[in-house]
Amino acid sequence: MRAVPLLEVDDVSKRFGGIVALDGISLDVGAGEIVGLIGPNGAGKTTAFNVITRLSAPDSGDVRFDGETLLRTRPNAVVRRGIARTFQNVELFRGLTVAENVRVGAHARRGEHSVDDVIYYVGISSVRHRLADGLPYGTQKRVELARALASSPRLILLDEPAGGLNHEEVEDLGAFLRRFRTDFDVTILLVEHHMGLVMGLADRVHVLDFGRKIAEGTPREVQADPAVIQAYLGTAA
Ligand SMILES: Nc1ncnc2c1ncn2[C@@H]1O[C@H](COP(=O)(O)OP(=O)(O)OP(=O)(O)O)[C@@H](O)[C@H]1O
Ligand SMILES: [Mg+2]
């Protein structure tokens, strides 16, 4: 049984000059789900995140959150509606400490979890007074996740959370994401190239290629889908 969609991307297109980054894509994420969004480089995954979070305006189509359009919500108000994200290339306030970065999330939207709780939960207590700049990459990614969690999101968009992490860190991340979906009662849309991670975590997966949605299904279904195999082999060739 599929849950009622918390997020609906409805026939969204986005062009950059001659490049069609999104070509009429539709996808949905049900409350409580972990949904994967995969596809080869340049498929449009980050563009989709930017449209959902209002950093980028679609040329056509609609994005609805909890049944209401997001297209009239300003970018800085998206987080107040309960949507948080992390970025493909970590984007922290480098001149601020770890705790200050996390506090920015809590200011945006207060929830039941304190900044201290979130910092502890994400496992960055020992660096809480350090500047974000200069911390190891894996730690910076945790700080960004903590900032997102501190805003008590209903939906969190993670853009390649495993990118740049070592094997052990990826294993930890998988266990962490599974746990925090339950502990924070959050819905997750996950862009990821690490197939082991996304296929092990996701309830369902949407697949993009050249701005089009080419498949949707359970991890098992999409892995067996000839169009998906072709998209990945085609890029590798
Ligand atoms: N601001 C922009 N200006 C021009 N072209 C852009 C812009 N943002 C994205 N694109 C182009 O749109 C297409 C989709 O890019 P996008 O970053 O969404 O892909 P992606 O699926 O996130 O790829 P990756 O897996 O490499 O992160 C690419 O061809 C990209 O070059
Ligand atoms: Mg991307």
40: domain CATH number?
3.40.50.300
Q: Please say which residue of 118, 135, 151 terminates a domain.
A: 151
The amino acid that residue 237 corresponds to is A
Q: Residue 58: inside a domain, yes or no?
A: yes
Residues whose Cβ atom is located within 5 A of ion ligand 2: 45-46, 88
Same domain for 164 and 143?
no
Domain range holding 116?
Answer: 92-151
Q: Residue 87: inside a domain, yes or no?
A: no
Same domain for 31 and 144?
no
Query: Token pair for residue 39?
Result: 């596809």
Same domain for 140 and 166?
no
Same domain for 9 and 97?
no
8 Å CB contact between 25 and 213: yes
Same domain for 40 and 20?
yes
pLDDT of residue 111: 80
Q: Is the CB of 61 under 6 A from ligand 1?
A: no
Same domain for 133 and 184?
no
Q: Residue 186: inside a domain, yes or no?
A: yes
Q: Which residues contact 215 (CB under 8 A, 6 or more apart)?
A: 205, 206, 207, 221, 222, 225, 227, 228
Average per-residue pLDDT for the chain: 94
Same domain for 138 and 184?
no
Q: Is the CB of 49 under 6 A from ligand 1?
A: no
Same domain for 67 and 46?
yes
Q: Please say which residue of 101, 132, 151 terminates a domain.
A: 151
Q: Is the pLDDT at 236 greater than 90, yes or no?
A: no
Same domain for 64 and 105?
no
Same domain for 53 and 168?
yes
Q: Is the CB of 21 under 6 A from ligand 1?
A: yes
Atom of ligand 1 nearest to the CA of 48: 18
pLDDT, one tens digit per residue, over 16-49 is: 999 999 999 999 999 999 999 999 999 999 999 9
Q: Is the pLDDT at 237 greater than 80, yes or no?
A: no
Q: Which residues contact 141 (CB under 8 A, 6 or more apart)?
A: 86, 90, 161, 164, 165
Number of domains in the chain: 2
- β-bridge mates for residue 156, sequence order: 84, 188
Q: Is the CB of 16 under 6 A from ligand 1?
A: yes
Q: Is the pLDDT at 1 greater than 80, yes or no?
A: no
pLDDT, one tens digit per residue, over 61-72 is: 999 999 999 999
Same domain for 64 and 144?
no
pTM over cut 0.85: yes
Q: Residue 118: inside a domain, yes or no?
A: yes
47 Cα: distance to centroid of ligand 1 (angstroms): 6
Q: Residue 157: inside a domain, yes or no?
A: yes
Q: Please say which residue of 129, 151, 173 terminates a domain.
A: 151
Same domain for 180 and 71?
yes
CA distances from 66 to 126, 142, 202, 223 (A): 37, 28, 21, 30
Q: Is the pLDDT at 13 greater than 80, yes or no?
A: yes
